[in-house]
Amino acid sequence: MSFKGLYQLDKLDLSVNKISRIPVKAFIHAKNMSELRLERNIVSWIEDGAFNGLRKLKHLYLYDNWINIIAPNVFSPLGSVTELWLHNNMLSDIDRGAFYGLSGVRELWLHNNLLTSIDEGSFYGLDNLKVLWLKDNQIAKISTDAFKDLVSCVHLWLHNNSIATIEKGAFRGMDSLKHLSLVDNVLSRLKKSMFEGLHSLTHLMLHNNTLNEIRPGDLDHLTALQWLSLQGNYLTSLEAKVFEKVPRHLNLTLSSKNLTESDNIWKCRSLCWLQKENSTGNITWSKGFNPKCSDVKRWSKLDCPEPGERTLLGGKRLWCVVLCCV
């Protein structure tokens, strides 16, 4: 590839060709280029120095290729790039330094690759990243400090992977994160240490996992939480203490609207505390998303005793009358 004499070129579209390799200094003469489209080729290798000279590049499209490795520093000349499309490739691992130099990137698309884990240093250099797409990979584990370099990230999309393990402090350093999607994974339990550092998180999506228990303390780090989805798991009960440090108002989804969908089936008589929170508006959910019950006909029929009352097995109220004789 040679672009001699094209110093004023602003946009270059090389998509839908048969480019398999991007050689060193391929675009050295296109110093004013702001957009480069290389998607839908068969690129499998990007040589070190391939992007030298592209100091003004803002948008780089590399999706729908055969890229399986990113050499350290290959993007280092691209400090002005704000959006990088790398989805629909064959990346199975991210080496430390793969994104070094991309301090201007605000949004990074890595979905539909073959990633199996996220390790410490994977995102070194992405100091100003706001949105990271990692959905539709094969990620099974997120290691400690995996995202520690993403201090500015606001949205992290990890849905539709195979995540079973999130190590202690995996999200540490993500002080700005507000939206975290872990939908459609295989998480069977939570730990308090999973969410360490997420004190700004407002939206946590955990539906369609395999959760069978959430214990007091598991959500204690989430002191800014406003929205939590738990439908499509294997939960049957929740203690009030689970939400002890979670602020109100909270939008909480415990069951799906679709009655035929596999879902949590709740022991609703153990959720009388939640009925009270719901009636006062402290914890709410969207219309039609009432918890599905195993012990009463439906949530609206749940008859909880007033303070001081006791119930017999089966939920019938027991009134105690004490006769005092003088």
Q: What span, in angstroms and rounded, lies between the C-alpha atoms of 41 and 243?
A: 50
- In terms of domains, do 106 and 28 share one? yes
pTM: 0.91
* pLDDT at res. 288: 87
Q: What span, in angstroms and rounded, lies between the C-alpha atoms of 87 and 112?
A: 6
**Quick check: is 311 in a domain?**
no
Residue with tokens 């550092």: 197
Question: Mean of the pLDDT values across residues 204-211?
Answer: 97
Q: Which two tokens stand for residue 283?
A: 């914890």
Q: What is the DSSP string of 153-195?
A: --EEE--SS---EE-TTTTTT-TT--EEE--SS------GGGG
- In this predicted structure, the answer to whether residue 159 has a pLDDT above a threshold of 50 is yes
Contact 250, 227 (CB under 8 A): yes
For 304, the 3-state DSSP assignment is coil
CB atoms within 10 A of CB 303: 12
- In terms of domains, do 119 and 228 share one? no
CB atoms within 10 A of CB 161: 24
**Quick check: is 138 in a domain?**
yes
- In terms of domains, do 159 and 230 share one? no
* pLDDT at res. 324: 47
Query: What pLDDT, in 10s, does the model give residues 74-125?
Result: 999 999 999 999 999 999 999 999 999 999 999 999 999 999 999 999 999 9
**Quick check: is 209 in a domain?**
no
- In this predicted structure, the answer to whether residue 217 has a pLDDT above a threshold of 80 is yes
Question: Which residues does residue 133 pair with via DSSP β-bridges, in sequence order?
Answer: 109, 157
Return mean pLDDT, the chain: 92
Q: Output the CA angle 46-64-92, nearest 5 degrees.
A: 65
- In terms of domains, do 243 and 142 share one? no
Look up the CATH number of the domain holding residue 106. 3.80.10.10
Q: Which two tokens stand for residue 87?
A: 């989805």
**Dihedral of alpha carbons 43, 34, 79, 197, sign:** negative
Report the relative pairing of strands 141-142 and 165-166 from DSSP bridges.
parallel
Q: Which residues contact 122 (CB under 8 A, 6 or more apart)?
A: 94, 95, 96, 98, 146
Query: What pLDDT, in 10s, does the model give residues 100-110?
Result: 999 999 999 99
Question: Mean of the pLDDT values across residues 304-317?
Answer: 60
- In terms of domains, do 160 and 11 share one? yes
- In terms of domains, do 293 and 180 share one? no
Q: How many domains does the chain have?
A: 2
* pLDDT at res. 311: 53
- In terms of domains, do 153 and 225 share one? no
- In terms of domains, do 147 and 7 share one? yes
What percent of the chain lies above the pLDDT cut of 90?
Answer: 87
- In terms of domains, do 143 and 239 share one? no
- In this predicted structure, the answer to whether residue 325 has a pLDDT above a threshold of 60 is no
**Quick check: is 282 in a domain?**
yes
* pLDDT at res. 2: 58
**Quick check: is 193 in a domain?**
no
State which H helix or E strand residue 21 sits in: strand 21-22
**Quick check: is 222 in a domain?**
yes
Q: Output the CA angle 41-45-49, nearest 5 degrees.
A: 115
**Quick check: is 210 in a domain?**
no
170, 186, 202 - which closes a domain: 186
- In terms of domains, do 95 and 226 share one? no
Q: What span, in angstroms and rounded, lies between the C-alpha atoms of 158 and 132?
A: 9
CB atoms within 10 A of CB 262: 12
Q: Which domain holds residue 162?
A: 1-186
Report the relative pairing of strands 310-311 and 317-318 from DSSP bridges.
antiparallel
